Amino acid sequence: MKKVICLLLVCVLVIGAFAGCGPKAPEKVEITWWAFPVFATVDGVSGKYEKELAQKFMDENEGIQVNVEIIDFANGPNKIVTAIEGGTAPNVVFDAPGRVIEWGKAGHLVSVDDMVKDSGLAADITNENVLAACGDGTNYWMYPSSAAPFTMAVSKTALEEAGMLDRINMEGDRAWTTEEFVSLSKDMAAKGYKGFEMFAKSQGGDQGTRAFVPALTGAHLTDSEVSKYTMDTAEGIAAFELIEKGMKEGWLTPSIASDGGMAIKNFVTPVNNTFWCTGLWSPNVAKGNADLMKEAGMEAIGLPFPSPEGTDTSLEYLVNGYAIFKNDDAAKVAASKEFVKFLADDEVIGKETVKATNCFPVRKSFGNLYAGNADMEFYASLSEYYMPYYNTIDGYSDMRPLWYGTLQKIITGEMTGEEAAKYYNTEANKTIK
């Protein structure tokens, strides 16, 4: 009997040993997503929507764990740089091309060429400049999802009070000429309103003034190949001279104390509707400031920047998308790509995330997500004015202080408009590495 029991115990041990040698359950791949607060909030809670997206993905991909962290615009860029230097960069980041392309050129990102090719994105893109903005001419470093034009805006409330609302074109793409803009600016100044704020404190929102100034005279910040700066042309010099004149005559408002964020605040929370226009606007800025405008009792109207003929506007624009950081774990890279595809390309989630940015899909196949909304259809119509995306030019981050620094020199009288144009262009071209 003892022999039988011992034999049974041996069998159990042997079976247990073989069971221990069997296939193990697959380990879960864990990735981290850092996102700037671009998506709409849920219940007023920042990050809640992003976590809901991650959970939906995990529900469909049980082998992948996605950790979400929201970073702010003030400290987020430096936090990412510190993480890169410390070898602790996130797997996925949601950002814009300006920073992303620099990381890609520096060798920190995984190329998403395969994703662009496999998804058929190139044939489905709404504007070729949008896709070109996501690479450096050799590789694509960002997988785009949404885009929106940067425009200016006027206060409907202020114009109505001044009896000048009829001076604004509300038809089609709402285009207007530089002559019409200057004339209205002078008349609004005579009524006691402050005009377009030439904010020059820092690089915050600098795309607003950098789009406005060249547009006035039909100048171009760079050549069409985005290989050099071209603001020392006759048109470029004329543009700087015009803003110098406008600030001296009082129909433009000089401000070394304001950056773009403060300029927007000055516009949407006016004291007696002080500012009648702003140079930093977009559909997502409009949505983000809707509560403040309602509280202030004012309404804004988005407009393209004025240009000599009113039909030759070139607009800067926002592109939202995803970048994947390099690491030594192929499984994490593969999981990150699947997560990005889910957020950007999924028939349901892809459209949802676009609407959560209050921007427009980069895919034509996603169609019109804002049917019946006249304002959003206006913004969508401006995609044809998207200029080549110069934010990816080498040395871009070094050029930006030169821009607002040049405006400061005009404001303080240190330079004339002509001197400023030549100074800026010479120094900006030196930043191209």
Q: pLDDT tens across 144-160, in order?
A: 999 999 999 999 999 99
Q: Which of 288, 260, 281, 291 is nearest to 357 (CA)?
A: 288
The per-residue pLDDT for 273 is 63
Buried b (16+ CB within 10 A) or exposed e, 226-265: beebbbbbebbbbbbbbbbebbeeebbbbbeebbbbbbbe
As assigned by CATH, the class of the 29-147+319-377 domain is: alpha beta
- Within 13 Å of residue 394, how many CA atoms lie on the same side as its CB? 11
| pLDDT score, position 314 | 76
pLDDT score, position 384: 79
The pLDDT value recorded for residue 26 is 59
Both tokens of residue 83? 């993480």
Quick one: which of 335, 414, 427, 397 has its CA closest to 100? 397
pLDDT score recorded for residue 127:
87
What pLDDT score does 10 carry? Answer: 41
Listed in order, the ranges of the chain carrying CATH 3.40.190.10 are 29-147+319-377, 151-314+394-430
pTM above 0.85?
A: no
Strand partners of residue 155:
300
Predicted pLDDT of residue 409: 98
pLDDT < 70: residue spans in the chain? 1-26, 272-273
Does the domain spanning 151-314+394-430 belong to CATH 3.90.1300.10? Answer: no
pLDDT of residue 4: 42
Q: Give the model confidence (pLDDT) of 6-38 as tens digits.
A: 444 344 444 444 444 545 555 899 999 999 888
pLDDT at 251: 98
